[in-house]
Amino acid sequence: MKSVLIVGAGLAGLTAGFRLKQAGWQVLVLEASREAGGRAASVRKQGYVFDSGAVGLGTVYKDFMSLAEELGLGDRIVRSSSIAATARGGRLYEIDSARPLTALTSKLLSFGSKLKLINLLRDLRRIKPHLDIRDVAAAAQFDDESIASYARRRLNPELLEFFIEPLARTVNLSRASEVSKLEVMNSLAGLFSTTLVHLRGGIAVFTEALAQHQEVRLDTPVLTVAEFADHVEVTCRDPGGGTRTHSAAACVLATPLPRAIELFPDARRRLAPLSDTLQYNRGLAVHLGYRAATRTRALMAMMPPSEQPEIALLFLEHNKAPDRAPPGHSMITVFYDHTAADRPWALDDAVLVGEAAAVTEKYLPELGGRLEMSHVTRWPLGLSHPAPGIYRAMREVNRRLEPGDRIQFAGDYRSTAGQNSAVAWGNNVARNLIEHLPG
């Protein structure tokens, strides 16, 4: 029986382990934290359920949805609200993606800006046939400028401020000047091709189901990864503080890029030019449970920088799935823009909660004074950052890596960050090992 060591029990690592186990391999997953799931995590607290990392799902996520059905989670998939709101002048303007004409009747944008959207639709129609949700880097020829540069060239200042900027912040918690045009175009293409859904119980039910099918050792940080002619050795620290070295036929490194290089220094060469250019956004989120219902059915309230310089997005979890809050209550997650995160990142949790609640209650005044639960999540390596040119580097790396290598890479730097990409690349590296590794 062939054996494999998986480093990292996030979505990609657990998916790879699941597929290899199905193929008859001996699988051992090593995870540094005390819970499996990585950034696909959920918290259950005081009757509320909320996702602390990955928050959005859609039926366009074919790989994720197929695996959910395979794991017996089909009955947990529920339809989410399709309404998105954008803040302007202290109030929220709603658009329903399931009813595109609401974009034309909304008072968020002027008539002239709505006409300018024709340019965006034309350009999106030209790009969309080249997009592959599993491998966005395959369309790297369109990774030639920032989405802000594109908006100044093809749209107008109003669309940049009240459409493009909020969308860039929602997609990557970043400013439009720092995000590749291709990243946002890919998100827009998916938005008009999907029904928004989620899992009852939180995204963690997915990773928990995957973990049940393989051996996962938690609180076991990996220290080094070494490759030899006929095997791989992984040294880790066990929960008791001692060290141990495991040997296997292959290894899957399913970690963020900096961690992969730290554990296996040769990854810097193999993953060049990404290894020297890819950056990660910090993820900072404040979760607020209210003993009152919101008037809006919107799934999210997007914030232009002129409205909120630091806060990028309010995510209304209770409009995502019915079990996210007790009846008549609301569950809001406040996400911060990583480009303005230095000050809030340094705040004590209590101060941060107070500031996030004040902004939430400004736009959702019906919640004022009804806060009963709070939680703060900090991800030092939150999201791989899709700066202009990154997808060109990804394409080069994906072309260069050999499918027969004993060490396979399934991190969030192989395509756009997201649940479907993680599942797709977990499937991909498992297939590489099954098809190419000698017996």
In this predicted model, what pLDDT tens digit does every residue of 181-191 receive, in sequence order?
A: 999 999 998 87
What is the model's pLDDT at position 26? Answer: 97
Task: State the Cα–Cα distance between residues 429 and 403, nearest whole angstrom.
Answer: 8
Q: What is the pLDDT of residues 263-311, one digit of tens each?
A: 999 999 999 999 989 999 999 999 999 999 999 999 999 999 999 999 9
Q: What is the pLDDT of residues 320-329, one digit of tens each?
A: 988 999 999 9
Residue 13 · residue 252 · CB < 8 Å: yes
pLDDT at 439 over 70: no
Does one domain contain both 320 and 369? yes
Q: What is the pLDDT of residues 219-276, one digit of tens each?
A: 999 999 999 999 999 999 999 899 999 999 999 999 999 999 999 999 999 999 999 8
Does one domain contain both 142 and 172? yes
* pLDDT band of 134, cuts 50, 70, 90: confident
Question: Cβ contacts of residue 73 below 8 Å, gap of 6+?
Answer: 199, 205, 206, 209
Is 135 part of a structural domain of the chain? yes
What is the model's pLDDT at position 41? Answer: 87
Task: Give one DSSP letter per residue of 278-339, joined into a string.
Answer: --EEEEEEEEEEESS--S---SEEE--TTT-SSEEEEEEGGGT-GGGS-TT-EEEEEEEPGG
Answer with the one of 384, 401, 420 that is the final residue of a domain: 384
Does one domain contain both 304 and 400? no
- Which of 25-29, 193-197, 239-243 is most confident? 25-29
CATH code for the domain of 220 = 3.50.50.60
Does one domain contain both 348 and 397? no
What is the model's pLDDT at position 39? Answer: 87
* pLDDT band of 103, cuts 50, 70, 90: confident
Amino acid at 223: L
Does one domain contain both 292 and 247? no
Q: Which domain holds residue 293?
A: 42-80+196-202+280-384
Query: What phi and psi values does residue 206 have, to the nearest 5 degrees?
Result: -70, -50
pLDDT at 196 over 90: no
CB atoms within 10 A of CB 125: 10
Return the structure tokens found at 179: 């995000």
SS3 for 71-129, per residue? CCCHHHEEECCCEEEEEECCEEEEEECCCCHHHHHCCCCCHHHHHHHHHHHHHHHHHHH
422: burial class by Cβ within 10 Å (0-12, 13-18, 19+)? buried
Q: What is the pLDDT of residues 147-183, one digit of tens each?
A: 999 999 999 999 999 999 999 999 999 999 999 999 9
What is the model's pLDDT at position 221? Answer: 97
Task: State the Cα–Cα distance between residues 238 and 227, nearest whole angstrom.
Answer: 21
Does one domain contain both 408 and 368? no
Does one domain contain both 351 and 396? no
* pLDDT band of 1, cuts 50, 70, 90: confident
Q: What is the pLDDT of residues 43-95, one digit of tens each?
A: 999 999 998 877 778 888 999 999 999 999 999 999 999 999 999 999 999 99
Tell me the sheet residues that pair with 6: 29, 252
| Helix H or strand E segment including 352 | helix 349-363
> How many separate domains does the chain show?
3
Residue 202 · residue 42 · CB < 8 Å: yes
pLDDT at 101 over 70: yes
Q: Measured between alpha carbons, how far is residue 400 from residues 262, 271, 279 in Å? A: 21, 8, 21
- Which of 32-41, 103-112, 204-213, 412-421 is most confident? 204-213
Does one domain contain both 214 and 252? yes
- Kindly state the average pLDDT of the residues 116-136: 93
Is 166 part of a structural domain of the chain? yes
Does one domain contain both 392 and 270? yes
Computed from CA positions of residues 146, 149, 154, 157, in that sequence, does the dihedral angle turn out positive or negative? positive
Question: Cβ contacts of residue 265 below 8 Å, gap of 6+?
Answer: none
Amino acid at 73: L
Does one domain contain both 297 and 369? yes
